[in-house]
Amino acid sequence: MRRPATSPGPYRRTRRAAGALASAALVLPLLGAARPAEADATPRSADSLQRAFAAAAVRYHVPQSVLLGVSYLQSRWDAHAGAPSVTGGYGPMHLTDVRTALATAPRHSTGTGTSNPRGGSARTAPAPRVRAPSNERVPARLKTLPRAAKLTGLDAGRLRADPAANIAGGAALLADAQRRLGEPLSADPAAWYGAVARFSGADDTATAAAYANDVYGVLRSGERRTTDAGQRVALAAQPGLAPRTAQLRGTGLRQVSRAGAECPSTVSCEWIPAPYEQFGDNDYGNHDVADRPASPDIDYLVVHDTEGGWDGVLTMIQDPTYVSWNYSLRATDGHVAQHVKAKDVAWHSGNWYVNSKSIGLEHEGFLAAPDSWYTEAMYRSSARLVKYLADKYDIPLDRQHVLGHDNVPGPTAASVSGMHTDPGPFWDWRHYFELLEAPFTATADGSAGSSGGLVTIRPDYAANRPVYTDCAARSQTCAAHGSSAVRLYSDHDENSALINDVGQGSGPTKGLNDTSSRVSTGQQYAVADRWGDWTAIWYLGQKAWFENPAARPTAVPAAGQVVTPRDGVTSVPLYGRAYPEASAYPAGVPVQPVSALPYKLPKGQRYVVGGKVPGEYYYAATFSTGSHRLVVGREQYYEIQYGHRVAFVRASDVKLMPSDS
């Protein structure tokens, strides 16, 4: 939810923006701490981590495969050099120590613009008052590291920084959970289902079972990868493994109803409704009742991060004077809460056109905390939910329909500089789309004369580490971190100027929230030029260069459809929303201006097409639904990948062609 939203909605009093979840209600905002000095204690040989798993398994009488499977679902075996996750978890076992990771300063950007919650002009959200809760108020799932310290006798700092110690701490917690269930420390992996479920930290049976089922799915399929520290770790497949799921009955966890929730059966989900209420001076919140996908349809899924802790997020979504989104996902175990039905319009993206045609998913976490990372449990739960929604509403699984909040366009020229930038460059889009079973692959062979004319951005996440600033403090360099984003330059030289975004109103920087000169994994662009190891693309009306060596490619060749200005014109305007022409509006529905963005699509340049859509406006300006109306015009638009964000261009202004023509 980074930075306040700005987009039109002239029928609502100004109110807090759909920006950072800023309130005293957010009692657990985290600041991902900078790398501690002791975090350099990484294993020396490439198999040291594998041996650490083996040693911990023997010491605490936990099957090594179970220990490996749990760790994979937590961190994919990465140590992150001792930096905490988005929810205060450390190391390969994601041992949580939330009080150590608590913020000492607000993590929320106030932004530059004003916005109303539906997508219009309004005042900025207030900065949060960060409170450090007492240890008694911190949920058990957020303080597993101190408990591991007691069980192992190891220092908490070592458990945070030393991967081998962290693994030992995780093994001790699993063994303790097994004993508390009255189960023997068996060598049979099937006998540890209940302990794995308890390790998740979930307080209900559905979430604990979903987590344990994921772990045992990993055990059955096996895994093998090289970690962020260069460690080679392998888990042999056990395809016939059948866990003793009946152990779940002995965990004492509460039952949670799925009634009302629209989720796949493979995730744990509950219904925590956002209020649809009238209040104040003819105002209401915090979403609009509709009849989607009949009117309007659903074309987009928007990925956000919450910029706040779970309990605070649930408090905010139940505030009728705040904003809304459809789903929240919890970091520790992947639990899902739905708040707004898919048929209704949530106020989450800062662009009313996108709001009316999208579903918003908030992921517990922070964009800007240095080295903060997202758990595998949440990635998997999110991917299952997104795949379910995409299948149900026929939404293409590509980066022009599965958007980050940072890809949503400003609806007007004045709103561009205030648009949100989450989930940011540390969200692993490549892994996410692999989990969606829609991996980014080459769709052209790349040979001379048959390159396809496009590229799909696809760097190696772990190895791709562009320098960012403004994480912990303004101008301060962020700790090195794997990234989905690739930086763009004005020439084939890293010393050349960064690409400028005229809509931002200031020069480009390497700041974490500056998307001016940045492309993201999965996005596609037309090739403009090549020079040695460098590739140029058409981007924001300019030729933008990025390093793309054959030995370490940051993009793969692709083919598709592109648009360019129609014959006889030098440039055509771009829009942040595909609204109908004035003549399409019936009596009683105010005509919405079709206002151009501060960008042009110049003659001779090509931009990738995501789809063709009619001009639409969903009029829903009153609490009573009787006046709600979908206005559909004759004017057609193409959605294109113009810069870091998508944009719309009138079909009558351009010509469509194959990218390799």
- The whole-number pLDDT of residue 445 equals 85
Q: What are the φ/ψ torsions at residue 137 (nearest 5 degrees)? A: -85, -10
Asked if 620 and 628 count as a contact pair (C-beta separation under 8 A), the reply is yes
pLDDT digit string, tens, across residues 556-572: 999 999 999 999 999 99
Helix (H) or strand (E) holding 60: helix 48-60
Which residue ranges make up each domain of the chain? 37-106+131-250, 440-559, 563-658
What are residue 295's DSSP bridge partners?
291
Q: How confident is the model at residue 12 (pLDDT cuts 50, 70, 90)?
A: very low
Distance CA 469, CA 490 (A): 20
SS3 label, residue 278: strand
Half-sphere exposure of 608 (CA within 13 A, CB side): 28
Q: CB atoms < 10 A from the CB of 229, how many?
A: 18
User: Which residue intervals of 118-266 are DSSP H helices?
Assistant: 144-152, 156-161, 163-180, 193-199, 205-221
Number of H helices, E strands in the chain: 11, 28
* CATH level 3 topology of 37-106+131-250: Lysozyme (1.10.530)
Residue range 323-350: mean pLDDT, rounded: 97
DSSP code at position 355: H
pLDDT digits (tens, 9 = 90+) for 146-196: 999 999 999 999 999 999 999 999 999 999 999 999 999 999 999 999 999
This prediction has a pTM of 0.92
**First CA to last CA distance, the chain:** 40
Tell me the per-residue pLDDT of 212-266, one tens digit each, with 9 for 90 and over: 999 999 999 999 999 999 999 999 999 999 999 999 999 999 999 999 999 999 9
What's the confidence (pLDDT) of residue 10? 34
Q: Which of 34-38, 277-281, 382-386 has the highest mean pLDDT?
A: 382-386
Mean of all residue pLDDT scores within the chain = 89
**DSSP code per residue over 287-334:** EE--BTTTBS---EEEEEE-SB-HHHHHHHHT-TTS---SEEE-TTT-
Q: Give the Cα separation of 658 and 15 in Å (integer).
A: 45
**Residue 365 confidence (pLDDT):** 82
Per-residue confidence band for 349, with pLDDT thresholds at 50, 70 and 90: very high
Q: For residues 382 and 329, is the Cβ–Cβ distance under 8 A? A: yes
Name the E strands within 378-453. Answer: 402-404
